[in-house]
Structure 1
Amino acid sequence: MNFEYSDKVKDLIARVTEFMDLYVYPVEAEMHKQVELDPWSTPPLMEDLKAKAKAQGLWNLFLPLSYGKYSAGLTNLEYAPLAEIMGKVLWAPEVFNCAAPDTGNMEVLAKYGNETQKKQWLEPLLEGNIRSAFAMTEPDVASSDATNIELSIVRDGDEYVINGRKFYISGACRKQCEIMIVMGKTDPENSNRYIQQSQVLVPMKTPGVTVVRPMKVFGYDDAPEGHAEVVFDNVRVPVDNIIMGEGKGFEIAQGRLGPGRIHHCMRSIGAAQRALDLMCKRVSERIVFGQPMIKQQSIREDIAKSACQIEQARLMTLKAAQKMDTEGNKAAKDLIAMIKIVAPSMALDVIDRAIQCHGAAGVGQDTFLAHAWAAQRSLRLADGPDQVHMMQLGRDLVKKVAG
């Protein structure tokens, strides 16, 4: 394994770091103020930052395959350090047009969409002109098993009629969200559970689409993106809105989630690294019992443990990314599962120690720590809960050894 970065990637690391230092960290408080003024709309400050990043060529860095003028054409391994840097601020990936769920939706459309779908929806997403959502999770079924999805997609002539309820649909609360990729069943009676599902494009303004409410995550509404509960009541869309054809929904979901999972892990490492940096600064400055906190042995141990955990997760993430690049996502599925199990829990450990070192300040709004902890805790459920990854990983590992 060779994790030495090319000059191109080293340059991008320096440029993204400088951008964050100059334009992102200094306006964190102002961004929160603008969101409070108009919670469900992209803040003007975000649009300004996006324009700056785009002008500097720091745009669509996530897209591994070159897509004309829209993509930097980086590999997963090359993107990893950039995503880590962005992960140090919860909303920073959007600045570079590298935020979920848009990233996954763009990858789906780039890989599976037809030319009309790409022109209508992918290109505006790649330009950063619109936002999107991915509607899979449902309140009434265990959605970590995608074959359980119950939303109904029934063909009626030249249209599909969609009925069902989704929740925790990230991005769907935002006014600028114009399109959803919706997963449901077109053939619920098929004996093969893995070809019952399909994915279809549903514009937000389609009659019958109702955003019921924003769902909260540990008390945070995560505006302006939000996590919506959405009802589909006799929603009609053209049959041309199907992605790749009927019965391809599960296949598309699997193709989408591999890169999405590792992108989350890359950002988790960034959040943990920032927490550790804040912890180091705090314990150097804070006086307890007549001396700086760093004089306490337990504090030194916490910092050492945190650094070890971060580096272990970082190396595992890079190994998974490299295998995805060289052998494909399917060949790397065990490593992707491992890092999805490891990274959020690692980040929770590190952030928790940082909160403890900050005392009361650590649980409030004056640092990023409390919100970062909530985000990482929810990530243990997003894109499949830990238990599902461990179940499948354990099964596959035994198969390799025992046959």
Structure 2
Amino acid sequence: MKLAARLGNLGTENAFDVLNEVTRLKATGRDIISFAIGEPDFDTADNIKQAGITAIQNNFTHYSPSAGIMPLKEAIAAHVSTTRQLQVKPEQVVITPGGKPIIYYVLHALVDPGDEVIYPNPGFPIYESVIRFTGGIPVAAPILEEKNFSLDTNELENRITSKTKLIILNSPHNPTGGMLSAQDIENIATLARKHDLWVLSDEIYSQIAYERTFVSISSQPGMQERTIILDGFSKSYAMTGWRLGYGVMAEELAVHIARLITNCESCTNTFVQYGGLAALTGPQDFVSNMVNEFKARRDLIAAGLNSIPGFSCQTPTGAFYVFPNVTEACKRLGLPDSKALQQHLLYNADVAVLPRSAFGGRNIGENQEYLRFSYATSRETIAAGLARIEKAMHLS
């Protein structure tokens, strides 16, 4: 039987491939320390879990409107209005089962075959995957270590053509933990207005920021109507398995995104939405405590990696990832690239990380090697993993 040709354009998320290998190795008795998956190791707060249970008991187990239940849409509108200094109406909110559907539906709603979409590279691999799947042309904008893992906005402008339809931003950024500065945001907003572009701003890590204050491009003059905010509950509220995300956009676009939902999954799980309502309207000390712990882990892993020969690690300003430069580490071990180093650490040190290649192909002129570590794990586990890596660096 023949499959549709379009499947050849569909990528994957390599973190799950590594997770599958880690699971296989653990089943054979190996003690694997994993820094591979981007998932908070905290349990969902009790008030959120209880809200979901209560919703089931109250029989909120039926369809909801495709764009989501009104109480949650109102809470999200209020939250975004406060955190982004905007005036947001519930009608501008579309609730989805996780954040990825916003990427998928927005690209299908805005991008015609042949349209160009600029996306961050290295970056979340689903961006490039879905751009190609829609028939769009992905145009990589390099995330640069020398700019503290941010974009060079002059280089970004050089990538804009008459075919450019959309710019995708992600700040705080996966995989580097970098953040766009206020000046970067202002410059990108100027480009979007000048060239009449949409912006999909992936702000899923917006509440996990440390020394630098999070800034949304939607807050810039003239940007709210051309920006789609992607956010959700997975990272900030440790609700990855609940699958609950949302988009905030122009009301005219929200209608079409809701229609795509109707055609695909009908709606987001109703009682899960009540869990999200409890998350946004309940105590926020869970979030602040988790972020404080992530900051302590960040400091631990960045310092630890910098003490290992061949590793050079910037201290990130957001999310829960570090992205050390391992070019020298590869040379010390005689390895060709970070993929080979990732395999060396997995099979010789029982430590799972992700290579640079998991986050897109090399940019033109790029000649450095990187690994991504998620520090969403305990300090004790981080220390043990660092000790294993240190030992593995002396293996030939």
TM-score, with normalisation over the residues of structure 1? 0.25
Q: Which has the higher helix share?
A: 1
Give the TM-score, by structure 2 length. Answer: 0.26
